[in-house]
Amino acid sequence: MNRVSKDHVIYAMSKDNQPVITVEAGSQVVFETCDCFEDQIKTANTHFSELDWNRINPATGPVFVKGAERGDILAVRIDKIDHNSQAVMVTGPNMGVIGDQLGENVVRIIPVQGGKAQFSKEIEVPLNPMIGVIGTAPAGEAISCGTPDLHGGNMDCKLIKEGSTLFLPVNVAGALFALGDLHAAMGDGEVAVCGAEIAGEVTVTLSVIKDKKWPLPMIETDTHVYTLASEVQLDDAASTATRNMVNLLEQESGISKHEAIALMSLVGNIQVCQVVDPKKTIRFEMPKSILSKLKVSL
What does the DSSP 8-state code read for residue 122? S
Name the segment binding Ca ion (CB under 5 A); options: 151-159, 202-210, 223-231, 264-272: 151-159
Nearer to Ca ion, 62 or 174 (CB): 62
Nearer to Ca ion, 143 or 245 (CB): 143
Nearest residue to 164 (alpha-carbon basis) of 96, 76, 255: 76
Using CB under 5 A, count the residues that bind Ca ion.
5
Least gap, CB of 146 to Ca ion (angstroms): 7
Determine phi and psi for 62, rounding to 5 degrees.
-90, 165
Name the segment binding Ca ion (CB under 5 A); options: 34-42, 44-52, 118-126, 236-244: 34-42
What CA–CA distance (Å, rounded) separates 199 from 180? Answer: 8
Binding characters for Ca ion, 180-219, by CB under 5 A (x = yes)? -x--------------------------------------
In the set 61, 132, 148, 217, which binds Ca ion (CB under 5 A)? 132
Q: Cβ-closest residue to Ca ion?
A: 132
What CA–CA distance (Å, rounded) separates 290 from 259? Answer: 13
Nearer to Ca ion, 154 or 240 (CB): 154
Least gap, CB of 132 to Ca ion (angstroms): 3
Nearer to Ca ion, 181 or 201 (CB): 181
Nearer to Ca ion, 182 or 246 (CB): 182
Least gap, CB of 133 to Ca ion (angstroms): 6
**Which are the contacts of 101, defined by CB distance < 8 A and separation ≥ 6?**
none
Dihedral sign, CA of 54, 55, 57, 62? positive
SS3 for 172-188 is CCCCCEEEEEEECCCCC
In the set 156, 220, 231, 285, which binds Ca ion (CB under 5 A)? 156
Nearest residue to 249 (alpha-carbon basis) of 217, 282, 214: 214
Angle between helices 257-267 and 234-253 (to 10 degrees): 120
Least gap, CB of 139 to Ca ion (angstroms): 23
Nearer to Ca ion, 72 or 156 (CB): 156
What CA–CA distance (Å, rounded) separates 1 from 29? Answer: 7
**Which are the contacts of 1, defined by CB distance < 8 A and separation ≥ 6?**
28, 29, 30
Site for Ca ion in 36-75 (CB under 5 A): 36
What CA–CA distance (Å, rounded) separates 244 from 248? Answer: 6
- The binding site for Ca ion (CB under 5 A) comprises 36, 132, 154, 156, 181
